[in-house]
């Protein structure tokens, strides 16, 4: 308990310090928000330190090994696709091996069009988990249209840690099981399929409105360990009328987006805001009707004009079920953001609820002069409600960590990201990804 309180206070103080630092720099002469779209957009003016020919990435390293006598560095011939192994290990999934790839390309004139990005991954684990996804975020020339979508197909293992923050003040036996104060991990196997597609139209400078459809389907749900006692998942299903072995969460998506980031893979400056509603409907096949609100806000502050890679990045993501019911494994929580990157320091879904809020601050900095290696330090906090008396914002759980970045593709700012984070209650983990967490 004392260790948890100390870690939480450190995280709170660090977040406060970083927020104050970001405010101070925003009043200084550091680069401000830079737009890449609209009729009034201006090309980004790169300082000599931002010259890509002075940066060194994995592609340069391979060229130096294969062609040691070549002196030219033609960025025009560099592939926009980056491929790396996808390796991970933890008690829930076992040892994972697979492949990841990301790609980036500007489909219009650079001063007036954002970079379009896509990603895919396929992996298998020693516990017979199979996971495949492909996602895209495409901007047409002049940012007239923006298409965002994702497809996931998996044979998955889903840990069940209950609702809320691991605290229960209720005397009701079902409430205590649902809150799961001891944070015991119950494990469920299933087949999982997800599809969503949103289409945005730019209606004003950097402002988009969009609509789409989202489908989350889980089949053949089974309890791995054959628990004889009721689990949080089963209590939740009994209370809100869901089947234990399958469910569907299908609905309409309506969103508003404001975007001034200078790069979607690794922003030096800018703002990103996406907020909207999801309306699940039984006539679309959804198990229950529901209305859900979600928002995602990110702010990037470059702290140096000479070396813009010094960045303070701030992120807050939250969601709330306003009416109706959503299946337990689809409730908002850590790792449930659109890119599945929130909650470093904890297993995905460790904390979740019908109302959830996450906030993170990260400082990014170059390590080597040629920008091949860089680093990050970060702190995050999350809070959720439960069905046992705990309200949103009542209990916060912090985590903190650090990471190493390796520049894989300087033309798209693609980094290989290796992070290690520590949470409370002994929670910790290693995280490997392409591109920044947010």
Tens-place pLDDT, residues 313-363: 999 999 999 999 999 999 999 999 988 889 999 988 999 999 999 999 999
Residue whose entry in the numeric block shows the structure tokens 């702290």: 303
CB atoms within 10 A of CB 36: 26
Name residues whose C-beta falls within 8 Å of residue 9's C-beta, 6 or more positions apart in sequence: none
For residue 120, give the nearest of 86, 92, 93, 90 by alpha carbon.
86
H or E element in which residue 16 lies? helix 2-26
Of 331, 336, 361, nearest to 346 by C-alpha is 336
Q: pLDDT band for 280, please (50, 70, 90 cuts).
A: very high
% of the chain with per-residue pLDDT over 70: 85
- pLDDT > 70? residue 152: yes
**What pLDDT digit, counting tens, does each position of 369-390 carry?**
999 999 999 999 999 998 778 8
- pTM of the predicted model, to two decimals? 0.83
User: Which of the two residues, 63 and 56, has the higher pLDDT score?
Assistant: 56
Place of tokens 């720099």: 25
**How do residues 186-244 score in pLDDT, each as one tens digit?**
999 999 999 999 999 999 999 999 999 999 999 999 998 888 889 999 999 999 999 99
User: Where is average pLDDT lowest: 45-54, 154-163, 195-204?
Assistant: 45-54
**What are the structural domains, with CATH classification, of the chain?**
2-434 (2.40.160.50)
Average pLDDT value for the chain = 85
Of 233, 252, 250, 144, which Cα lies nearest the Cα of 188?
233
Residue 218 CB neighbours (<10 A): 23
Question: What is the gyration radius of the CA atoms in the chain, in angstroms?
Answer: 22
All residues at 6 or more sequence positions from 125 whose CB lies less than 8 Å from its CB, including other chains? 93, 94, 95, 96, 97
Show the CA angle centred on residue 368, arms to residues 363 and 374, nearest 5°: 30
d(CA 215, CA 195): 5
């Amino acid at each position: 308990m004392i260790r948890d309180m100390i870690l939480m206070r450190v995280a709170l103080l660090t977040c406060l310090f970083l927020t104050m630092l970001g405010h101070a720099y925003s009043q200084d002469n550091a680069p401000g928000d830079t737009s890449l779209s609209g009729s009034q957009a201006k090309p980004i003016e790169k300082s000599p330190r931002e010259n890509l020919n002075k940066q060194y990435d994995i592609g340069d390293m391979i060229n130096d090994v294969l062609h040691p006598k070549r002196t030219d560095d033609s960025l025009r011939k560099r592939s926009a696709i980056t491929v790396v192994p996808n390796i991970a290990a933890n008690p829930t999934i076992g040892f994972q091996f697979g492949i990841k790839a990301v790609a980036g390309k500007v489909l219009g004139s650079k001063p007036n069009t954002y970079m379009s990005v896509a990603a895919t991954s396929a992996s298998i684990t020693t516990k017979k988990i199979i996971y495949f996804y492909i996602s895209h975020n495409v901007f047409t020339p002049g940012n007239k249209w923006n298409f965002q979508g994702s497809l996931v197909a998996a044979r998955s293992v889903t840990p069940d840690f209950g609702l809320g923050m691991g605290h229960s003040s209720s005397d009701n036996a079902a409430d205590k099981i649902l809150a799961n104060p001891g944070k015991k991990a119950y494990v469920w196997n299933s087949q999982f399929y997800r599809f969503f597609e949103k289409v945005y139209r730019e209606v004003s400078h950097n402002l988009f409105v969009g609509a789409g459809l989202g489908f989350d389907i889980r089949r053949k749900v089974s309890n791995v360990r054959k628990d004889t006692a009721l689990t949080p998942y089963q209590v939740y299903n009994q209370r809100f009328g869901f089947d234990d072995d399958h469910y569907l969460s299908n609905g309409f998506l309506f969103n508003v987006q404001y975007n001034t980031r200078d790069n979607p893979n690794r922003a030096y400056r800018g703002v990103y805001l996406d907020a909207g509603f999801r309306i699940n409907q039984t006539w679309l096949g959804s198990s229950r009707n529901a209305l859900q609100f979600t928002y995602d806000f990110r702010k990037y502050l470059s702290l140096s004009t000479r070396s813009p890679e010094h960045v303070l990045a701030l992120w807050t993501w939250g969601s709330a079920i306003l009416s109706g019911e959503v299946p337990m494994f689809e409730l908002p929580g850590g790792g449930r953001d659109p890119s599945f990157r929130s909650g470093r320091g904890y297993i995905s879904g460790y904390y979740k609820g019908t109302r959830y809020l996450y906030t993170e601050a990260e400082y990014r900095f170059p390590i080597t002069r040629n920008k091949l290696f860089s680093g990050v330090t970060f702190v995050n906090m999350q809070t959720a409600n439960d069905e046992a008396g705990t309200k949103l914002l009542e209990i916060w759980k912090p985590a903190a960590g650090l990471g190493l970045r390796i520049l894989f593709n300087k033309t798209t700012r693609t980094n290989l990201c290796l992070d290690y984070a520590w949470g409370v209650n002994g929670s910790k983990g290693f995280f490997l990804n392409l591109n920044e967490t947010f």
